Every structure is written in C-alpha cells, then in structure tokens.
Structure 1
Amino acid sequence: MTSDATTIAQHLVRCPSVTPKEGGALDYLQGILEELGFACQRLVFAEDGTPTIDNLYARFGTAEPNLCFAGHTDVVPVGNESAWTYPPFGGEIHDGKLYGRGTADMKGGIAAWVAAIQTLFANGWRPDGSLSLLITGDEEGPAINGTVKMLKHLYEQGERWDACITGEPTSSETLGDAIKIGRRGCLDGKITVRGTQGHTGYPALADNAAHRLIAMCDGLVKWHMDDGSEFFEPSNLAITSIDIGNTATNIIPGKATAAFNIRYCDLHSGPELVAKLRDILTAAAGGEAFYDLDTYVAGESFLTEPGQLSDLISDACQKIQGVRPEFSTSGGTSDSRFITNYCPVVDFGPINKTIHQVDEHLEVKDLEDLALIYGEIIRNFFG
C-alpha cells in the first residue's frame, strides 16, 4: 500500500474514466480504503434517458462527528489526443509536473485526501468520530445519478454528515490562495420562436421569427440583473447559441431558436428568474403566443457563511503554505450545491489553471503540499 499522493494520482489518471465510464478508478480507490479499514458501498443509480452511474461511499468509524470528503473520478473527454504533449491517460511526470486528464479536476484532490489519511493512520492517529468519502462518477455529466441520489439514499439509511470538503480545484495562482464558500446558481434556457414562413419580397404575408428572436435576445442582453452581493459577483446571462436553420436568403424563417445560460448570485432563485425571463421575453416578442421557453435549473446558489469550517482550512493553508485563502464564490458549479442541503460544505483543492485543457497538469510539489494541508484539516477537525 502506497502513502504517496503522487503515486495515487498517477494510478487514478491512468484509469480512463471519461463520464459515464468508471474506468477502474473507483475499484482502485475502494481497494486502498478497504485496506485502511473503511467500510465501502458501491451505489449504482439509473434513470431513463441518462447513463447508469457507479458511485462509491466509504466510511471509517460509526461515531459522530462525521467529516466527509466529496469528489468525482469522472473526467471530461480529452479532445484532440494528438495535441497532447504527453498521453492524457499516461500519468507521466515531466519537469516536476504530473500530466493527464483529471490531474487537477479532480483526481489530484482525491489522491491528496487519501494520502493524508494514510499518513495519519500510519502514525497511529485515528479520528474521534468518523471519516467518510462520497465519490461520484457523474459530476462532469448530467449530475443526475451521482451525488444527489447518493445523498438521498444514504440519508434515508441513517447517514449524517457534520461537515464536508469538496476537493474541486479552487486555487488560482498558488496552492491555498482561494476556497469556494459558495457557488452561483445555474440556469439553462432555450427559446423557440414561432412565426410564419414566407417570401422576402412579400413580408406582409409572413411573420419573421428571426426578427422576434433578435428583439428577445436584445432584451435579455440589456437586462441588468444585479450588482452582486457581499460574497457574490454580479449575476450574468450569456446567449450561447442562435439557430435559424435557413439555407436560403429569400425565405423569411418561420422558426428560430436561441439558447442561453445564467449564473446568478444569492439575490435570486430559479423560479423568480424564470418569471422575470417570461416578462422580458413576452414584452419583446409581442406576446406569449409567439414563443416557448424551456428552462432547467442545474443548481441554486448557496453560501456557507465564513466560520469554523472555512477557518479550519485557512489555518491549515497558513501553516503549510504561509497564505490565507480568499473566500470566493466565482466560477462554475460543483456537487456542493447538493451537499449544502445536508451539512456545511466548502470547496478546496489544487490550482485550476489547466482544468479541461489539453496538457492538464499539476505541480508534484503542490500535490504533496495539498496532502499536508488536508492532513492538518482532518486532524484539527477532531481537535
């Protein structure tokens, strides 16, 4: 059994666990954790229209408090593999950097946490309570058959958590310079505008769906949502696709669609935003009869107020790295948006500069230092 964060990360990277494939990553983790005395459960969930997902829950101890680490072993596709300097699933080290898909997002964080536990246990330490790991294979995918269903199932079985750290890559320039104490909400939308197709020479006989859509998109772009709040940047809306599907220049289109995404702060909720969207779109379109709006709220905004958990991480960063992290809520979403319904949660992990990119990598020193920081957090959590 290894107790080296880099070695564990290499093994995990070499598992081609592109969502929804398990790729051997959970099998590898389960073997290490069971050797450490963790009781492991493999939780497989399925839903019509979505891929079946294999997940892992591991717990050491039965007493309270229960400190949980959450993460995901699934990774995004590598893209053009020939563009990579080193094999994306090779886990190779060059010039002090560990290369491979998932090194930063987020197999490196998982490896550092497990290595921290190994080191503590090897030195005779045991928690005065419980340690658990909630590892999904669905974070980079639909996020339907992973963490959200794991939490519900485990809660119904009597599991409780007192605090959770999600090992997402949150550091920006140097390890430990930022933690996420919350995340913005995420709403996806699609507008389908109905008009009447016709000849461009006879506009009175047609109703141009593209013209209505342009006016609607203009209304969305001009919408000043807010100026942000104490811990959140201003909300933003981005139009991500416009499709008319017209291959001729002399046909007035009878249908036009657009897609958009909103990242919103804690001043809004999904239902409130949908209602406001309808007001803006209806006014611009000339009435609800001219369009359909489909929305999906991927997660509401949440905030874990600065306090015991964030201080615990800050103190560990100060001791190991000599820096105190900034409290941030920027960036995308994470599975912490589900965990917040069960216990206080913050995201903290490696530098995020290369996530989802070609030649994703981590500094080996950062990986080893992260294991030291995690070790401090674990030990100090239990006093």
Structure 2
Amino acid sequence: MILVEQKQRVERDSKEVVALTQDLVRIPSVYRPGTKDGNEKGVAEYVARYMKKMGLEVHVEEVEPGRPNVIGILDSGRPGKTLLFEGHTDVVTEGDRSLWTYDPFGAEIVNGRMFGRGTNDTKGNLSCAITAIHSLIQDSETINGKIIMCVPCDEEGMMIGIKHFIEKGWAKDVDGAIICEPEENQLCVSQKGAMRIKIQVYGKQAHGAMPLTGVNPNTRMAKIIVALDELEQREKERLGKHVELGWPSITPTILMAPTAGEPQINVVPDQCMTTLDIRTVPGQDHEWLKQEIQAIIDCLAEKDSDFKASFEVIEDRPWTSTNREDPVVKAVAAAYTAVTGKAPVYNGVPGATDGTFLHLAGIPILTTGAGDREVPHQTDEYVDIDDLVETTQLYREAALQFLRN
C-alpha cells in the first residue's frame, strides 16, 4: 500500500512541477533596464499567487521598482529548525532568437526535454522547490520548525534581491539553505568566489605615425595583462587543483581602447580599459589579491615615468565551503540516497550564486538541482523532465530529513 501511495504522489508531483515550470518559463523575465515588460515582476506575481493558494504565508517586497522579492513561509507551529529554499526569478537574455530551434519562452517539450530560457537556470528548480513544499502540505507530512521559500530578483546581475532579503532580516534564524540551481543533483558544498575588477590605463592621444608625441596606454595595459597571467600561474602552483572547484583564474574579459569616442587605426588612444573576472578557491585571500594587483601597477610605474593606471573593484564575492557533516548536507545526502538508491556525488559550483551572500550571513548552504550544469545561458537551454521529477522528490525528502531531526 505504501509503494502505491508513493507512486501516486510522484505522479501527482510530476504533473505539477512540469506544468509550473512551463508557466514560469512562458513569462519572460529578462531584466532590461527602463522597460515595463520583460522583467521579474510577472514571475514574482505568479509565484506569490501560487504559494498563497498552497496556504503559505506570503510576503512581496519591492527591491527596486518592478523588481520584487517573494517570500513564502510554511510554519509547522512546532519548535524546530528553519530550512530555506532559494530560487531566483530572473533569467539571462535569450540572445539572437533566430539561433534557437524552439521558442525561448515557449517551454516546449520534445522527447522528454523541456526547452526554453530558464528551464535549466533556474525556473525548473524553483518549480521543484515550490512543488516539493506543496507535496508536504497535501500529504499532511509532520515537520518541525519552518520552511522559507525565498524567490529573489536579480541573481544574474548584482544579486540585489538576496542582499535585500538578508538586510530585511529574513535570513536571521535560518539553520540551513538549499540553493536551487542546475547541478545534475550533485551535492555542491563549495563554490568559487568572484571578483570583478575594472582597470584603466591613461595615456596621451597622438598620431599613429608619430607615437612618441603621445603616451600609448595599450602597450602599458599589455604589460599589466602579462603580469596578471603570471600571478594566476603562481596561484595555481601554490594552491593546486581544488578537488571540487578546479583551478583559480584571473581572466581579462573586456579590452577597450579608446574608452570613449570612435577608434581609428592611425590614432594612439588616450585611454585603455580592461575588466577582470577573477574566480577564487578556498585558500585565496581577496584582500591579498587586490594588494597584488596594486603592486603590479606600482612596479610598472616605477620603471616608466609615463605609466599611469588605476583599478576599481566592481563586485567582490567570496568563495564558500560547507562541511559535509553539517546537518543540511547530511539531510540532502540522506534524501538523495532515499530517492535514488545511490550514494550522493559531491561537487562544487564553478560560479557564484545567491548562496554566496547567505553564506556571508552565517548560513550553511548546499547547492543542488535539476539540469546539466553546462547548459545555463546557452541557446536551446533545456531540462530533462526526469530530472525535474527526481529533484522535486529530492527537495521534498531533504525537508523531511532536516525538519524531523
């Protein structure tokens, strides 16, 4: 009888998670500044209505105009721990629609896969978490403590949603958080840190035929980039390859000269700019790295009286690591085995997530969810239906494991 009930529950939850994912994907939520449509508001409003119908206590808080956070709370009324599920509403741009095989906001299902922007990152996983909570309610499962469903805006940008969530005190009493991102249901207990830095080199404009009448910022920027590459290599040698996160990296991404106005082949520009996407692993100190970048600039300036450069830290997100013996990790590990019959696979997140700031707030985090981890942000983004089904049950069982102890 128990097996029959389990099968019926999985079938019920499967229908719900597929339908909910389709509904959310079909509401475009690419944040485009200055536009009334195509932001997170439509998805947030849908999710708020949905969770109210489930019986959750729901709060909607505007972070910026048209950019709300949604918080849903399931309170058992009994003392116990608080578990947080987190899944964001925004998605990255679909890019050139002509390159898509399927409508990027159509949520079309073909051969067991749902296609569309956000199916993988991360509306599918948001739907899994909401469905898992609904499943607990429908089955009158006994839990202690609370579940908080955090649905923030702007994960793909500067993460203003999760920062606002923390600033407003919602994370204060959370004992563990599951970050709902596409990780092939691997248990990601670490994630890389990220620093985004802008470097400016200042020169003097001149005729390309008479470069000595000016100061070329491009050759000086080249020296900085070479020195940064050497710094990256030293860090790789010092730290080695992290078991879950791989190698640290210092990557120049944008290179622009001049920084304003029209470039010309016969003009030495007056400025050159590059941006760095720095990804760090446990054992790296961000303040030390900033000092090393300044030291590179200072050293080059000592050798060249015309050398002038500065750098600005645009964003600083530390690496995170959660002990495998932490209760939230142990709960998800036990849930994974209960749902799949297999031992969990541990891994790390190659990029930063909203969990970065929850970690800074003192909350143990684990990242896991449905979807190939290399598919986010790609054309023809997809998620396998079987993965959505498994992840829903994984989240459901994880909540039971965490809140029954």
Q: 1:249 to 1:336 in 2, by over 3 A?
A: same
1:329 shift after superposition: 2.4
Which of 242, 252, 255 matches 1:242? 255
Corresponding residue of 1:136:
152
Matches within 5 A, 1:306-317: 306-307=324-325, 308-317=327-336
**Structure 2: segments with no counterpart, 5+ residues:** 1-11, 33-38
Which of 194, 200, 213 is the matching residue for 1:186? 194
Does the C-alpha gap of structure 1 residues 43 and 369 become closer, same or farther in structure 2, counting only changes over 3 Å? same
Q: Structure 1 residue 114: deviation in Å?
A: 1.7
1:351-366 equivalences in 2 (<5 Å): 351=371, 352-366=373-387
Q: How many residues align?
A: 370
C-alpha deviations, 1:147-191, integer Å up to 9, x for none? 111112024xx95111110101112xxxx3x22212111111121
- Change in Cα spacing, 1:303 to 1:284, as seen in structure 2 (3 Å) is same
Task: Describe the SS at the equivalent of 1:181.
Answer: strand
Superposition pairs of residues 140-289 of structure 1, within 5 angstroms: 140-144=156-160, 146-155=161-170, 159-171=172-184, 176=185, 178-223=186-231, 224-226=234-236, 227-229=240-242, 231-245=244-258, 247-285=263-301, 286=303
Q: Give the structure 2 partner of residue 31 of structure 1.
A: 49
Q: Is the 8 A contact 2:41 2:67 kept in 1?
A: no
Tell me which moved more, 5-14 or 54-63.
54-63
Rounded Cα–Cα distance in structure 1 between residues aligned with 2:80 and 2:69: 23
Letter in 2 for 1:337: T
Q: Which structure 2 residues correspond to residues 263-342 of structure 1 after superposition, within 5 A?
A: 263-285=279-301, 286=303, 290-307=308-325, 308-340=327-359, 341-342=361-362
The answer (yes or no) to whether the contact 1:16–1:23 under 8 Å persists in 2 is no
- What is the CA RMSD across the aligned residues, in angstroms? 2.2
Change (3 A) 1:7 1:252: closer
CA shift in 2, pair 1:203/1:119, >3 Å: closer
**Partner Cα separation in structure 2 for residue 371 and residue 11 of structure 1:** 17
Cα deviation digits, residues 363-383 of structure 1 (max 9, x gap): 111111111111111111122
Q: Distance in 1 between matches of 2:242 and 2:330?
A: 21
Question: Identity over the aligned pairs, expressed in percent?
Answer: 24
Residue from 359, 370, 375 that aligns with 2:391: 370
Query: Which amino acid is 1:236 matched to?
Result: S
| Partner amino acid, structure 1, of 2:223 | A
What is the CA distance between 1:54 and its match in structure 2?
Answer: 0.6
Q: Which residue of 2 aligns with 1:60?
A: 74
Q: TM-score scaled to structure 2, two decimals?
A: 0.85
| Mapped contact 1:238–1:261 kept (Cα < 8 A) | yes
Deviations 1:22-71 (A, max 9, x none): 2522222222222222111101123xxxx652110111115431111011
| TM-aligned CA distance change 1:358 to 1:232, over 3 Å | closer
In the alignment, is the contact (CA less than 8 A) between 2:41 and 2:66 conserved in 1?
Answer: no
Q: TM-score, normalised by structure 1?
A: 0.89
Partner of 2:29: 17
* CA distance 1:31–1:330, shift in 2 (3 Å): closer
More helix by share: 2
AA aligned to 2:168 is: H
Give the deviation of 1:112 after TM superposition.
1.2
Secondary structure of 1:105's aligned partner = coil
The answer (yes or no) to whether the contact 1:167–1:347 under 8 Å persists in 2 is: yes
Tell me the alpha carbon deviations over residues 67-114 of structure 1, each in whole angstroms, 9 at most, x when there is no partner: 110110111111122322222212221111111110111111111122
Q: Name the CA distance, whole Å, in 2 between partners of 1:287 and 1:64.
A: 64
Hey, what does 1:125 align to over in structure 2? 141
Distance in 1 between residues matched to 2:283 and 2:191, nearest whole Å: 12
Q: 1:113, 1:326 → 2: CA distance?
A: 20
CA–CA distance in structure 1, aligned partners of residues 263 and 175 of structure 2: 58
Q: Judging changes above 3 Å, is the alpha-carbon distance between structure 1 residues 198 and 228 closer, same or farther for their aligned structure 2 residues?
A: same
C-alpha separation between the residues in 1 aligned to 2:177 and 2:264? Answer: 56
Change in CA separation of 1:202 and 1:27 when aligned onto 2, cut-off 3 Å? closer
* Partner SS, residue 127 of structure 2: helix
Q: Tell me, yes or no, if the aligned pair for 1:19 and 1:137 is still in contact at 8 Å.
A: no
In the other structure, the counterpart of 2:363 is 343
Structure 1: runs of 5 or more not aligned: none
Deviates more, 1:202-211 or 1:355-364: 202-211
1:89 maps to which of 85, 95, 105:
105
Quick one: distance in 1 between partners of 2:115 and 2:211? Answer: 58
Secondary structure of 1:306 counterpart: coil
Q: Which residue of 2 aligns with 1:8?
A: 20
CA distance, structure 1, for counterparts of residue 214 and residue 127 of structure 2 = 61
d(CA) in 2 for partners of 1:100 and 1:250? 45
CA offset digits 1:193-232 (Å, max 9, x no partner): 1123334454443322211111111111121224245654
> Aligned equivalents of 2:265 and 2:26: distance in 1?
51
Structure 1: distance between partners of 2:243 and 2:389: 34
